[in-house]
Amino acid sequence: MDQTEQILATVHTLLRAEGMSEAAAIVREYPAHIEQTGYDNWNGGTNIFDVQFKLPAQDYARLGAKRSQLEEQITARLRTAIEPETQDWYSAKIVPAREQRTDWRSDSSDLPRQVRVNVLDGLRLENVAWYGQLDDVEFLSRLFDLQQLPSTDSRFKDAAGDIWQHRYNNDDWENDWVYTDSRFQLIDGPVEQFLRFLCEVVHPIVRPDRDEALKLVLHFNDQLRSAGWEIYEEERIAGRPRFSFRQRSSSSRAVLRAKTVAEALDAGWMAKEIERLEHSIDRDPALAIGTAKELIETCCKSILTKRAIPFTKSDDLGDLTKKVAKELQLVPEGITDATKGADNIRLILRNLTQLTNNLAQLRGLYGTGHGRDGQHRGLQPRHARLAVASAVAFIDFVSETFRHREGLN
């Protein structure tokens, strides 16, 4: 065993003995590369090294805010193992490994194969007729020029002929035949082609039952969300939604950031509120706004509980944020009350909480249960996105400060 392996084995043992199993797993499971990153002339000369642990890009991204905490844990044990023998300086860095894919520029890589398979398997499990009220040829002709696609049956000159023969004359193709037919490339072709197919499955002409279409869109988005895509209502035809597709918006990224905060605080109830947010921003803006306010409250209560600071059921959002601000000393050290900086920071924090609180009050004004005149317009998704972004900005700042005070980053 070479010296590097001996050091890493020692670090792994120290981490496991101190209960830091996730950091220990990184040291054990991922390749390490030592790279000199600097030199300090002070005290006879000190070499500065990074010990880089290379993680697959997906694993790296999944760690989120935990990365800095894990790096600190590994770095401390590296120095424990190395410093008695050298005055050199070592730090652990978790970095993404370089991808070795050649297909990353192709459209198909933008929507993983497994996501597509999951969507189509869901249709199979629910026995959904993808063609809806149309026949197979009518449906596919809305998306493809079937006269230009080849036939798999030598008796017919194009795809339209062999589809009709085997689906209606012979009836010897299964209902889900199109999912794996290479001519339509649903599983391995361009992402837009697959998503257009899904939108057509829930088109009002194909599937006029609104509730059935909405149920399918929920299923599609449950799978597409992880890949950064969504099916959304673009317009209405005779009162029924017509859907299109898009990459997910900044509000989705805010929700993802909120999930990272919930994981860092180990706050299960926050996770439930975030899930409610995710499903209501576009569908029920009023609910999303109220939930954004509740998210701030839950974050504050989680931190106060971890710091053993009492609070009561009668404490409102303002009371909770004041207690958190005082406990975490959110105004930076060295800035006195007499300076403008302290007032500005307090004002920013106050505005963040008041913005969400005020929007939550609007939810009551614009909610259901009251008669409205013909000019009434309810809260829109853009209002919900404003509330969610404000709430996430607050909990992100507060949770990072909490981790700093706890010595976790």
> Is the same domain home to 137 and 243?
yes
For residue 107, the model assigns a pLDDT of 46
Segment 281-290 shows an average pLDDT of: 77
Residues 92 and 116 in one domain: no
* pLDDT at 164 > cutoff 90: yes
Does some domain include residue 335?
A: yes
Q: Are 150 and 183 in contact (CB under 8 A)?
A: yes
For tokens 């008695």, the residue is 84
Report residue 215: phi and psi, to 5°. -65, -40
**β-bridge partners, 246:** 230
Phi, psi of 95 (to 5 degrees): -130, 155
**The pLDDT of residue 61:** 78
- The answer to whether residues 292 and 196 belong to one domain is no
Are 309 and 391 in a shared domain? yes
Residues 119 and 188 in one domain: yes
In a domain, 190, yes or no: yes
Q: For the segment 92-111, what is each residue's pLDDT rounded down to a tens digit?
A: 999 998 876 655 555 444 78
Q: What angle do CA 124, 127, 128 make, to 5 degrees?
A: 90
* pLDDT tens sequence across 358-405: 766 766 666 544 444 444 456 777 777 787 778 888 878 888 888 778
d(CA 162, CA 86): 76
Q: Among the three residues 247, 282, 308, which one is the final residue of a domain in this structure?
A: 247
Query: Looking at the domain assignment, is residue 121 inside a domain?
Result: yes
72, 96, 120: which is the final residue of a domain? 96
In a domain, 383, yes or no: yes
**pTM over 0.85, yes/no:** no
Pick the last residue of a domain from 247, 281, 312: 247
Same domain, 137 and 269: no
- Calpha distance 220→215 (Å, rounded): 9
Kindly give, in sequence order, each residue whose CB lies less than 8 Å from that of residue 375, ignoring residues fewer than 6 positions away: none
The per-residue pLDDT for range 182-192, each reduced to its tens digit, is: 899 999 888 98
Angle ∠(378,255,300) on CA atoms, nearest 5? 95
Q: Quick check: is 107 in a domain? A: no
Give the whole-angstrom CA distance, residue 328 versus residue 408.
Answer: 14
Q: Which residues contact 342 (CB under 8 A, 6 or more apart)?
A: 331, 335, 336
Lowest mean pLDDT among 121-130, 195-204, 239-248, 305-314: 239-248
Q: Is residue 219 part of a domain?
A: yes
* pLDDT score of 331: 62
In the prediction, which pLDDT does 55 show? 87
Q: Considering only residues 340 and 395, tell me which one the structure prediction assigns the higher pLDDT.
A: 395
Q: How many residues does the chain have?
A: 409
Q: Is residue 33 part of a domain?
A: yes
Task: Please state, in angstroms and as integers, the Cα–Cα distance from residue 256 to each residue in 61, 260, 278, 289, following that order.
Answer: 11, 7, 9, 17
Distance CA 390, CA 396 (A): 10
State residue 372's pLDDT score: 46
User: pLDDT at position 264, please?
Assistant: 58
Based on the domain organization, do 92 and 120 belong to the same domain? Answer: no
Q: What is the pLDDT of residues 251-280, one digit of tens each?
A: 455 565 666 666 656 656 666 677 676 667
3-class DSSP state of 210: helix
Q: Is residue 236 domain-shared with residue 276, that is, in the same domain? A: no
Looking at the chain, the whole-number percentage of residues with pLDDT higher than 90 is 28
Element (H, E) at 36: strand 32-40
In a domain, 19, yes or no: yes
Domain that holds residue 164: 112-247
* Shared domain check, 271 and 395: yes
The number of angstroms, rounded, from the C-alpha of 154 to the middle of its chain's C-alpha atoms is: 48
Type of residue at 241: P
Task: Assign 99 to helix, strand or coil.
Answer: coil
User: The domain that contains 268 carries what CATH number?
Assistant: 1.20.120
Are residues 126 and 151 part of one domain? Answer: yes
Q: What is the mean pLDDT of the chain?
A: 81
Question: Are residues 283 and 221 part of one domain?
Answer: no
Alpha carbon 210 to its chain's center: 28
Separation of CA 391 from chain center = 16
Rounded Cα gap, residues 136 and 115, in angstroms: 24
User: Can you read off the two tokens belonging to residue 141?
Assistant: 């002709």
**Do both 227 and 117 map to the same domain?**
yes
Q: How many domains does the chain have?
A: 3
